[in-house]
Structure 1
Amino acid sequence: MKTGIHPVSRPVVFRDRAAGFELLTHSTADTHDTVVREDGVTYPVVDVDISSASHPFYTGTSRVLDTEGRVERFERRYGRTAGVRR
């Protein structure tokens, strides 16, 4: 590997404020904020909007869309197109 062309990988905390979830991992993400963890060490922190702790798919709170009802509502509103059969 060439020296001086690769970004520095260091421990970084990714924090999901909505869920109160923190993940310590290695990253090259540049940040100016820091956080002190339970172990007493100060780490750079990246605040994220959504993570596996708050994403509806992973938490099981996702909704199933009624696609057939949507099609029926569309057809009632705008009518069927001539020549198109289901």
Structure 2
Amino acid sequence: MKPDLHPAYGPVVFRDKAAGAAFVSQSTLAGRPGLATIEWEDGRTLPVVDVDVSAASHPFWTGTARVLDSEGRVEKFRRRYAGR
């Protein structure tokens, strides 16, 4: 196997600023230079990646999703072209 072929894989903190939530996961982003770091709850200093949406802020997972179209597409099509 070739040495230094695969990127570094390690713990990274993913932070959702919209919801104020953060969680640790494994990622290849751990080896990326220039990432900001954060002191995690167990005393480790880990790289942090800010994300726009996570399960803590996504409308589907929080239960705040709205149904915009209550009528199905097939029914709309049939009603529109029923007279033809």
Q: TM-score, normalised by structure 1?
A: 0.74
Matched, 1:7 2:18: no
Q: TM-score, normalised by structure 2?
A: 0.75
Q: CA RMSD, aligned part only?
A: 2.2
Unaligned 5+ residue runs, structure 1?
73-79
Q: Which has the larger radius of gyration?
A: 1
Q: How many residues align?
A: 74
Shift of 1:53: 0.4
Matched, 1:43 2:80: no
Matched, 1:16 2:13: no
SS of aligned partner of 2:60 = helix
Unaligned 5+ residue runs, structure 2?
none
Match of 2:65 among 59, 62, 67: 62
Tell me, in whole angstroms, the C-alpha distance in 2 between the residues paired with 1:59 and 1:42: 30
Shift of 1:37: 1.2
Q: Percent identity?
A: 56
